[in-house]
Structure formats: structure tokens, C-alpha cells
Amino acid sequence: MNEKAKRQIMKVLKSERLACVIRTILILSAAALVCFYLHGAGVMKENILMVFLIGILLIGALTSGYEYGIAGAVISVLMFNYFFTVPVHTFAIMNPDDVVLMFFFLVVSCISSGMTERFQRQLAIAEENERAARRMSEMSEKFINVMGTQRIIALGLEYIRENTGYNAAVRLNGENEPAGENGYITFPIGGVMQQIGELKVFTVDKGMSAEQEIFIRAAAGQMGIALDRELIYAEQEKTKLQVEQEHLKSSMLRSISHDFRTPLTGIIGDCDLILASRQTDPSEKEKLVRDIREQSMWLTRTMENILSMTRIESGGDFIEKDQEVIEDLIYEAEKHIAGLRESRRFRNVMPEELLVADVDAGLIVQVIVNLLDNAMKNTKEGGMIRLSLSRRDQKAYVVVEDDGSGIEPGKEQQIFEEFVSMNGKGPDQKHGMGLGLAICREVVEAHGGKIWAENRLEGGARFTFWLNAKTAG
């Protein structure tokens, strides 16, 4: 507590004492006036003394401290002796009954003042306990609603500072000692099963009252309960994440085995046909070889998607940018889609100017390949696929659209999640494991761009993404 605060407290105490003195004087003056009136009306002096007794009771009720009541009792006895006992206007006492009367009056006044002061002290304690209980109740409610380790600690330290005036620091198990002032008292922060950490209250060797200690222990207890809840929640989330990861791993393994088995079976079958039919028509052999090539490219794309997703999920910066011509990346991607021009009505639309961008060429090619491959999977033989490139507001827009079955309504954003495909089936479906569009989103967003999907009014789907770009030159 600083000197300014001490001076403020002393000032308040002095003003409170002055107010009690003024109240005592006013009550004694009023009692004396009433006694003079009753004495003039012929009331006996024993009853007059009761008026002074009432005044003493009022002094005890309206002031703090029994010393004001005792002082009032002494003054009342002197006034009674001076004005109302024979001989009047002197402090001599002629009648022994008056001595006994004033003695018992003084005793009763002192007892009543002491009892009144004790009652006031107990009332003040009860009020302070009520305020402390209210503060603790409010603190408990706040801790119930707060989430996060740092926010829990900050709330506890704030309550301690507001209600005790002391700064504090928390050290959880496994953490370094917090920096702080010299002179502190340590309180344990306990969880359900074990101690979580410790609370250091910096008192600068000034000590603390019993009420402050009770409040700090309660705050430490509430912090321990809330922190223990956070630890349990974190463990539950960790367990849940592990279960989900195991589920994803098993789903990926099923998808990989399915997606690899299908083209491998086709490749083996085509090779067997070529080996078994040495005199087969050359056009038939060419068809089988093309089928083998298409199945091999399918395997290659699947493996590239798996490797890319592994790079993405490993964290860190997984892209290596260089300045590339976007048209060249599009043409490169078209070469990776077998049967794109032969089995589909494919058309690309390029702008007159060359567009360049700082991108990871391999990943952007993979994005375009995945979008074209997605269009191939969701269109029939002879269906329309259109790829266009345009520039607006220093951005290059790549659009891939088709006239296939389109996107299930309400799934326009969900299809960019892992293991989710256009038709909403799980990973064990013939169209693949559902990694392609998820990779597209991660790669485009890592380049500072955006990708989205929508249904065309004419039927089919449209996928659009943009990248920051400029014209060459």
C-alpha cells in the first residue's frame, strides 16, 4: 500500500471520528433539553435519568466504538448531578440514593455501550462475509464461462489484484519461474488428481489479513478447477483427433487399395491380351496400349495427389514459387489428361496477352489437372469441357466447366473437403478417394488466391480459381 493510499485512509478515519463526536454532542444536548423540560413539568429525577439512558443507547447505535457511549455516560452523570440533584449547580451529592442511582446508571450505560459496539462489530463482520461470499460467487460464475488457459490465469490474477491490491503470478507444472517482485507468498493450485501449479502473491513482505488469505486460496482453488477442466478437455480433444486421424488413415488405405486395384487390374488384363494375341490387329493393339497408358496416368495422378496432400498436412511452407507463364501451365496440364480431346468436346479459351504469376508450377499444374480430371469423370462420352483463362483487376481467372451431372445442391463448399466427392459418396467409390479438390483448395489458398464451385444454368458444373498475375513485358 503506497503513502497516498495511507493518507487517504487516515483522512477518512479522521472525518468519521469527527462525525461521531458531533453526533454524541447533539444527542447529549437533545437529551439535556428534554430533561430540563421534564424537570420543569415536575417529573421525578429517576425518570429524567432514563432520558439520559436513551441518549446513551442512541449514541451507541449511531456511532462506531464503545468509547463514545462511555464518554456520553460519564457526561450524562455529571450533567444529572449538576442540574438535577440536591444541591443543584454543584457536583456535591447530599443524598446517598443519588449516588447509588448514578452508579447503576453508569454501569448500565457502560454495559449497553459495550453490547451495542459488539453487535455493530458482528454486523460489520456479517456484512463483510456477505460481500466476500458475493465476490466468490461472482468469481465462480466467471470461471465457469471462461475458456483457455491464459484467459483463466488472467481472470484469476485480475480478481486477486482487485480484491487484495497485490500483484500475483502463476507457474504451471513444467514452466519456468515467473519474473516478479521480491517478497511473495506461495499458494498451491490443485486439480482433481494432482497439483497443477502454484500461485505467487507478491506482498513485498507486508503480509496479508485473514480475509485476504481466504480470498486468495478461494481464487487459487477456482483457477485449479478451471485449469483442470481445460486439461481434461485438451486430452479429450487430443483423443478425438487421434481417433479421427486413425479413421482417416483407414479410409485413405481403403481408397488407395480401391483406386490402385482398378487401374492395375485393367493394365494387367490389357497386357495379358497383348501377350496372348500376338497376331492381333494393330489397331486393336494400339487401343489396348492407349488403355494401358490411360490407366498408368490415372495411377500417376492418384500418387501425385497423395504425395501433395502429405506435403500439405506436414505443415510449413510447401510451395516453391517462381515466375511462370500461366498459359504454359494450362497446356502442360492438358497433356496429363488422356482422352481429353479424343473422347470429349474440349475447348480452351486464352487471352491475347501473356499472363505471368509467381507460383509453384508443379502444384498449379496439378490443380488444373485435378479440375480437368474431375470434369472428365463427371461427363459422358462426347460431353463438353471448356477451359478459359482471363484477366481482371490484376488477377488471372481460370475457369473449368462441363455439361455433366453437376454438383448436389448445398454441397458446393463441402466438395473441397478431404474424402468428399461430387456425388456425395464416400471414398470407396469409382470416381476416386476425394483428395483432388481438397488439394486444389489448399494449393490455391497457399498462393493467396481463391477457388469456388457452382452449378451452371445450362447444366453441369463450373470451377473457378484466381491468382495474382500480370501481363508479360
Domain ranges of the chain: 3-128, 150-237, 240-307, 317-471
Q: One-letter amino acid identity for 368?
A: I
Whether residue 350 contacts residue 329, with contact meaning beta carbons closer than 8 Å, is answered with no
pTM tops 0.85: no
Which three three-digit cell numbers place residue 378? 463427371
Q: What is the DSSP secondary structure assignment for residue 432, as one 8-state letter?
A: B
Which of 130 and 179 is assigned the larger pLDDT?
A: 130
Cα–Cα distances in angstroms (integers) from residue 174 to residues 188, 195, 329, 391, in the given order: 15, 12, 51, 55
Whether 349 has a pLDDT exceeding 90, the answer reads yes
Summarize the confidence of residues 376-395 as an average pLDDT: 92
The CATH number corresponding to 240-307 among 3.40.710.10, 1.20.120.1200, 1.10.287.130, 2.70.150.10 equals: 1.10.287.130
* pLDDT for the residue 315: 60
* Residue 193, CA distances (Å) to 21, 225, 228, 229 in order: 57, 11, 9, 12
First to last CA, the chain: 72
Q: What is the pLDDT of residue 463?
A: 96
159: enclosing H helix or E strand: helix 149-164
How many residues does this entry show for the chain? 473
Q: Tell which wins on pLDDT, 208 or 457.
A: 457
Is the predicted pLDDT of residue 460 greater than 80, yes or no? yes
- Residues 416 and 399 sit within 8 Å (Cβ to Cβ): no
DSSP 8-state assignment for residue 429: B
CB 376, CB 432: distance < 8 Å: no
User: How do residues 236-284 score in pLDDT, each as one tens digit?
Assistant: 888 887 887 677 666 666 666 656 666 777 777 777 777 777 666 777 7
Q: Please provide residue 2's backbone torsions phi and psi, each rounded to the nearest 5 degrees.
A: -80, 170
Highest mean pLDDT of the ranges 4-13, 65-74, 97-106, 377-386:
377-386
Q: Is the pLDDT of residue 17 over 70?
A: yes
Fold of 317-471: Heat Shock Protein 90 (3.30.565)
Per-residue pLDDT tens digits for 282-318: 777 777 777 777 777 767 767 776 766 666 666 656 6
Residue type, position 360, single letter: D
